[in-house]
Every structure is written in C-alpha cells, then in structure tokens.
Amino acid sequence: MRLAVLLAASAALSAQTRAVVVAPVLNMYSKPTADVDVVSQAIYATTVTIVEERDGFAKIKTPDDYPGWASLAGLRKGESYAVSGRIATVESLFAHLYRGASVTQQAPLLTVPFETRLEVVSEAPRWLRVRLPDDQPAWIQSGDVTFDLKPLSVPELAALAKRFLGLPYTWGGTSSFGYDCSGFTQMLCRRGGRMIPRDADQQAAWDGMQKVDAKDVQPGDLLYFGSSLDKITHTGFYLGSGMFIHATTHEHPVVQISRLADEYWTKLLVAVRRWTK
C-alpha cells in the first residue's frame, strides 16, 4: 500500500510541467474559465509549474506556491527561464522591449512590469540585448533595469512603495499594472528579502510573522484590517508617524497613503505583524 502511494506521488510529480509566462501579466482564475474571479497573477518571464490542464487552461503554481487557473495561450510549456547567466531585473514601473536598439524606429514589441527578469545576451552603454522566453531577441534600455538586486532596508522600502502611488487597485493584482492589497505588501516584503504568503489572511496567520501590539507599531510593520482576526480583508505597510501605504478601493481605487488614526481604519485594525527578522 505504501509503495502504491509513493508510486502515485512520483507519477503526479513527473506529470507536472514547467512553463514560462509569455503575457505581460497573466491572470490566474479560481476555475478553468475567464468568467470567474481572479485569484492572483503571474508576470512576464516567470517560470511556473503546470499541475493540470483542462479546456485550454492550466492549473499553475507560481514560485510562492500559489495555485490558480491560467490560459494556456499565455504560457510556453516545457521551459524554464532566467534561472542562470546574466539576469537583468526591471526596476522601472514599466519597461518597453523593442525589436531594435532604438525608441524611434519601431513601436515597442511589448511592455513588461516592474520585477520582470530577463536573460541578457549582450550589453552596450545604453542598450541591452535580451533573449525572450520564446527565443526572440529584443532590446531594452539599460536605465530600465538593475543587475544589483539586493534586499532593501525599511526606509528604502518606504521610498519604493511611494513610487507606486496612484497606480490602480486591481483585484488579484501582483504587478505594477495594478496591485491588490496583499499583492502590494508581498512585493514590498519580497524586495526586503523575505517571501511571505500571498493573501492577507494567510500573511497574518503565518508563523513567520511576529505578533506586535498596535501601540508598538514600527515603520515596516504590516497592518491587517477586517471585522475580526478570523475575517481579515485588507493589509497595508506602515510608514511611520501614523501613516500607512496600501492598495485599496476606499474612496479612490489606487495605491495611496492613509492615516491610521482615521476612524474608518481604526475600527477595522485587528492585527499588526512584523516580518523583518
């Protein structure tokens, strides 16, 4: 019996297929159809795992092990990408990729979001030639990327967070095309060198977080809001001086800075968590 279980597990693992996202931002749905809710997203050039296929959709898992159904049209199966060699990471909020080393001769080939990782083939003072996941060559301006991707301090993360002010709130969003609340805080923690769970309720319950009393909140702490600790619906990143930054639909559906002392937020605050070690 035990051998049969092990063989079944081995067969399931071997059936899993790697794939690379070839859409600028790929929606992940709760079911294998685009007519349901978006649960998360995977950005361009991300290597994911396919665990099941059905009706033109694939159930995938992103590098943070988050599952969802995505269109097979947005995936290149059987591939891994940007796992070795010279890798550039997009630092601009958005970056154009071109068919040649010029911004004037042709329209951009595509536009990719912040944090996109690209395989670099060659470098010039202003331009980088990259290999795309579909093996096409493309050029990106060197000012849009960084090779020095190191964990940021809390003050650096606060400065980074403010670059996204005014970008649209997007349910399920995990990119600079539009974040949801937990996608935004997960990105900030990731840039701080720590991978935390995807959803707000998962983050607050995660044993990798330190519980903090609200009176002891410090810059960089994550704030969790809801009707109770069991029903968390929102999160934000505390900046200090009573202010926090978050992706929200409250009043204006954008990334914005709010006052924790405002009655709307005070009555909803149910937890503070410290993710920094």
> Could you report the per-residue pLDDT of 90-121, keeping only the tens digit for each?
999 999 999 999 999 999 999 999 999 999 99
Whether 259 is covered by a domain: the verdict is: yes
Question: Vertex 143, ends 140 and 146: CA angle to 5°?
Answer: 90
Same domain, 173 and 255: yes
Same domain, 159 and 217: yes
CB 85, CB 120: distance < 8 Å: yes
Domain hosting 132: range is 87-146
Tokens 């999160």 label which residue?
Answer: 235
pLDDT of residue 7: 35
pTM of the full structure: 0.92
Query: From CA 180, how far away is CA 200, in angstroms rounded?
Result: 10
Q: Which string of DSSP letters, residue by residue, matches 88-154?
A: EEE-SSEEEEBSSS-SSSS--SEEEETT-EEEEEEE-SSEEEEE-TTS-EEEEEGGGEES---PPPH
Same domain, 163 and 119: no
pLDDT of residue 276: 87
Whether 5 is covered by a domain: the verdict is: no
pLDDT of residue 12: 43
pLDDT of residue 8: 40
Whether 6 is covered by a domain: the verdict is: no
CATH code at 160? 3.90.1720.10
Whether 82 is covered by a domain: the verdict is: no
Same domain, 134 and 42: no
Q: What is the mean pLDDT of residues 56-83?
A: 95
Query: From CA 211, how far away is CA 88, in angstroms rounded?
Result: 36
Whether 178 is covered by a domain: the verdict is: yes
Whether 46 is covered by a domain: the verdict is: yes
Same domain, 175 and 254: yes
How many domains does the chain divide into?
3
Same domain, 142 and 170: no
Same domain, 170 and 135: no
Q: What is the mean pLDDT of residues 225-238?
A: 97
Whether 119 is covered by a domain: the verdict is: yes
Query: From CA 197, how far away is CA 46, in angstroms rounded?
Result: 17
Same domain, 160 and 268: yes
Whether 7 is covered by a domain: the verdict is: no
Tokens 């693992």 label which residue?
Answer: 13
CB 202, CB 232: distance < 8 Å: no
Query: From CA 136, how far away is CA 113, in angstroms rounded?
Result: 18
CATH code at 112? 2.30.30.40
Same domain, 68 and 108: no
| Residue 13 banded pLDDT, cuts 50, 70, 90 | very low
Same domain, 162 and 251: yes
pLDDT of residue 200: 98
Domain C-terminal end among 101, 118, 146? 146
- Three-state secondary-structure class, residue 176: coil
